[in-house]
Structure 1
Amino acid sequence: MKERVLITGASGFVGYHLVEHALKNNLEVYAAVRKTSKVDHLKEFPINYVYPDFSSTDSLIKELEDKQYTYIIHAAGVTAAKTQADYDRVNADYSFNLASAAAQSNIKLKKFVFLSSLAALGPLEDIKGVITEHTTPNPVTAYGRSKLLAEQKLNTLTSLPLITLRPTAVYGPRDTGIYIILKQFSKGFEPYIGRVNQHLSFIYVKDLAKITISALFSPIIHKTYNLSDGKVYDRYALANYSKEVLNKKTIKLHLPLLLIKALAGFLERLYARSSKTPALNIEKLNELNAVNWICDIKNVTQDLNYLPEYDLKKGLVDTFAWYKKNNWI
């Protein structure tokens, strides 16, 4: 009999790749989604759907005991919300509810992998530094603070067989975040905010999916790992590799920071009464204009045998091929 894995956030960008890689590892996949989630892109996979109520620990306990999961990957969360409280409710409280239910349930759970974010630590102000697992957290966004709070809550559950993964900026097929920037490159525009020197890090989604599934089978518990492809990129690397892959030239624009802040403030006011949030806001600029997002992956390499297959250039080759095939660019 196949071992069962519950994957939350399965309908999302990263979730799709987690499902795909879990199936490749002969796991029986249960995809936790909302009843309103679009799942057409998952129809190719032989998976089961469940609709957990993350606001109720008792309901979650029943769900876990009914299905008797061997593994749980918690990838669900929000990346855009109106307030810190909204971020905290979904990213921290709901995560704790699921983890608490897993710790209390009568199931033989081997591993609970929580997908956090490098945003939980935040960037460094010194361009010469490197973010490690022991770096003092200083998240610069509400999203990052909510992920840090989730980590702190989950770490109180000492009986939970927990591994926490903190990926840096994730890109790849089906991504809609970094895609916004890549689409501009494909149109011949190369915009930047100010002229600050930056060190950036990235991780290709297939590498993230692979290490997440590998973590399920590791004997290690109660450890947290930062994740990237292990390389250091300057602020122009994403555009330079994109132009090489696309064989395109671009118009490079350095937009004044004050102008972008004014635009971000205008968008925040414009969306103030809307249920939606703008892609750009003043707080998001703290991440976009940060000096240093480089992280050390020595620990995850040693403990979990993590060997990234994709650097930025190789990942962009696959990413743009998918975007073109699916008419995204």
Structure 2
Amino acid sequence: MNRTVAVTGVTGFIGKHIVEKLLSRGFVVRALTRQDSTYTADNLIWVRGNLDDRVALTELVRGADCVIHCAGQVRGSQEDVFTHCNVSGSLRLMQAVQAGGHCQRFLFISSLAARYPQLSWYANSKFIAEQKLTAMASDISLGIFRPTAVYGPGDKELKPVFNWLLRGILPRLGYAESLLSFLHVSDLAEAVYQWVIAETSETTPFELCDGDIEGYSWKRLQEIGSRIRGNPVHLIGVPLPLLKLAADVSMLSHRIMRKEPMLTRSKIRELTHSDWSASNFHISKYINWRPEVSVERALRERLF
């Protein structure tokens, strides 16, 4: 396999796993990075720049057969922060692909959050990016992935939750009846690889999860944790006013430290939504992909 794939977001949690998967399957990878990286591998070519740098984007996609767009803004104190990266940056990358005239395939790693754009700035930015990329794509074959909550080695968001679960405490956000879904990063990386080699032209957004048809209620996560521990897990509801207070503190910290916050009142609306169940039915019709890692297996084998 000597095909070339251009990838953004390579230094991030998801992008790193996707690149490792592609390299292991013999692809040449051109990777966009804002800073010098010490990571080297055969067939890995670093391109210095970011989504604002049109020259770097032109160099990134030069000679590439396919683009995997993983880079995205997940933290922000206002909507413009998300729009600038997730919408405008994505469109600049698509423009570079079209101007290059070589690459014919573009995979946008969106989010299940885009299913409910009204919930958060992040969700809305991903949804708008999907719509604008679709309108722009023209003769470019566009794929859209909407993975649910992704976890695995290198993840910093769900790992603390799973660690506390295995210690016997599960903090519950939102309603007791809420449904959740998850996806191990190795399964997401495999799905990307299968999309690349399948060459499907389907542009409808694909949902991706670990394949659990029931979804995960908080009660079910509690039961899974109890089975693995051999001891009870205490489910503790976090009151919404406390979450809002934490978000306000996070915003204040942003102003002092000048770092974009993860937790905002916008993000809380997303985190406490009642239905994050998902289905792989649609994607499985188009590519040869089935997830292998359930939450229970990941917890038992510490695959996070």
**TM-score normalised according to structure 2 size:** 0.89
In the alignment, the residues of structure 1 paired with residue 236 and residue 61 of structure 2 have an alpha-carbon distance, to the nearest angstrom, of 52
SS of alignment partner, residue 286 of structure 2: helix
Query: Conserved in 1, the CA contact under 8 Å of 2:48 and 2:56?
Result: no
Matching residue of 2:206: 225
Aligned twin of 2:169:
189
Gap runs ≥5 in structure 2: none
Question: Which of 105, 110, 114 is residue 116 of structure 1 equivalent to?
Answer: 110
Q: Which residue of 2 aligns with 1:200?
A: 180
Q: State the partner residue of 2:249.
A: 266
**1:170 and 2:167 correspond:** no
- Listed one character per residue, the Cα deviations across residues 242-262 of structure 1 (whole Å, up to 9, x for unaligned) are 454455654432232223223
Alpha-carbon distance in 2 for matches of 1:8, 1:246: 39
Q: Which amino acid aligns with 1:51?
A: R
* Shift in Å, 1:151: 0.8
Tell me how far apart the structure 1 counterparts of residues 9 and 166 of structure 2 sit (CA, whole Å). 29
Of 49-58 and 94-103, the range deviating more from structure 2:
49-58
Find 1:101's aligned residue among 69, 77, 96: 96
Aligned equivalent of 1:79: 74
1:55 partner SS: coil
Shift of the alpha carbon at 1:144?
Answer: 0.8
1:154 aligns with 2:133: yes
Deviation digits for residues 246-294 of structure 1 (CA, Å, limit 9, x no counterpart): 5565443223222322332233234334322344322222122111111
> Taking structure 1 as reference, are residues 173 and 302 closer, same or farther at Cα in structure 2, changes over 3 Å only?
same
SS at the partner of 2:135?
coil
Describe the SS at the equivalent of 2:64.
coil
Structure 2 SS opposite 1:10: coil
Q: Which moved more, 1:259-268 or 1:289-298?
A: 259-268
- Mapped contact 1:119–1:139 kept (Cα < 8 A): no
The equivalent position to 1:60 in structure 2, one of 57, 71, 85, is: 57
Q: CA deviation at 1:46?
A: 5.5
Identity across the alignment (%) = 27
Shift of 1:116: 0.5
Instruction: Provide the residue aligned with 1:291 in structure 2.
Output: 274
* 2: CA distance, partners of 1:44 / 1:249: 45
Call closer, same or farther: CA 1:278–1:33 in 2, change over 3 Å: same
The one-letter amino acid of 1:292's match is D
**What is the CA deviation profile of residues 7-55 of structure 1, one whole-angstrom value per residue up to 9, with x for unaligned ones?**
111111111210121022210122222116xx45x44676221123422
Distance 1:185 1:45 in 2: 39
Point out the more displaced range, 141-150 or 245-254.
245-254
Alignment: residue pair count: 300
Rate the CA distance shift 1:83–1:47 in 2: closer, same or farther, 3 A.
same
TM-superposed deviation, 1:309: 1.4
Distance 1:237 1:10, change over 3 A: farther
In the alignment, residue 35 of structure 2 is paired with which amino acid? Answer: K
SS in 2 for 1:113: strand
Per-residue CA distance 1:181-202 (angstroms, 9 max, x = gap): 1232344432223553111111
Rate the CA distance shift 1:284–1:104 in 2: closer, same or farther, 3 A: same
Contact 1:57 1:100 in 2 (8 A): no
SS at match of 1:163: strand
The aligned amino acid for 1:172 is: G
TM alignment of 1:294-305, pairs within 5 A:
294-305=277-288
Instruction: Give the conservation status (yes or no) of the 8 Å contact 2:74–2:262.
Output: no
Distance 2:289 2:57 in 1: 32
**Equivalent residue letter for 2:82:** Y
1:90 aligns to what? 85
Unaligned runs of 5+ in 1: 123-137, 324-329
C-alpha distance 225-187 of structure 1, shift in aligned 2 (>3 A): same
Equivalent residue, structure 2, for 1:134: none
Matches for 1:131-150 after TM superposition, within 5 Å = 138-150=117-129
Note if 1:3 corresponds to 2:14.
no
Instruction: Measure the CA separation in 2 of the matches of 1:114 and 1:6.
Output: 12
Q: SS of the residue aligned with 1:304?
A: coil
